[in-house]
Amino acid sequence: EFMKGGELFDYVVGEGTLSEEEASGMIRKIMSAVEYMHRQGIVHRDLKPENLLLTEKGPRREVKIIDFGLSKLLGAEVETTQSFLGTRGYLAPEMLVTQVYDKRVDTWALGVLMYECLVGTPPFEVPDSVEETHARIPSGSSATPAISLTSKSCKAGSLHSARRKALAPSLL
């Protein structure tokens, strides 16, 4: 399937930031797909703008998730995993310290994506080492310039380790 709209990454870079209305529409579509994957027992583990393609340029575009090379099939017997892989700026804290994790790591990546769409930059600076990265990721606090209280609350829920434990993509 040819994606005329290119990568979400290129679109956000070209726009600088997205309006809250446009960002919420995009994130809603991505969340719907992630929720479907999770119901099928699939955790993507590498959600990032480069792995999201737009079907076309313009307002009627859809968003497609690609690159399932790092994904994992979890089931009733195996609900967690511990592999350290993915793109560091989108990894949940538990992945950075190689703790056991589950499908909710994708919720963290959704929070990072949401922030990037609204603000135009990553919420956390990605230093050279894993230790530095983990030290710089607070429990959900990052600068949230000029976005609504609803967006701040949604971002905080997905980028806060304790709150994310109970947060499903459909609740974002």
Q: CA-CA distance, 147 to 25, in Å (whole number)? A: 15
Identity of residue 161: S
What are the b/e assignments for 119-155, b being 16+ CB within 10 Å? beeebbeeeeeeeebbeebeebebebeebeeebeebb
Which residues contact residue 15 at a Cβ distance below 8 angstroms, ignoring those fewer than 6 apart?
A: none
Question: Has 46 been annotated as catalytic?
Answer: yes
Q: CA-CA distance, 5 to 160, in Å (whole number)? A: 32
Active-site residue, selected from the candidate residues 46, 102, 106, 128: 46
Tokens 């290119």 locate to: 6
Identify the DSSP state of 145.
T
- Give the CA dihedral 67, 91, 144, 61, nearest 10 degrees: 10
Residues known to be catalytic: 46
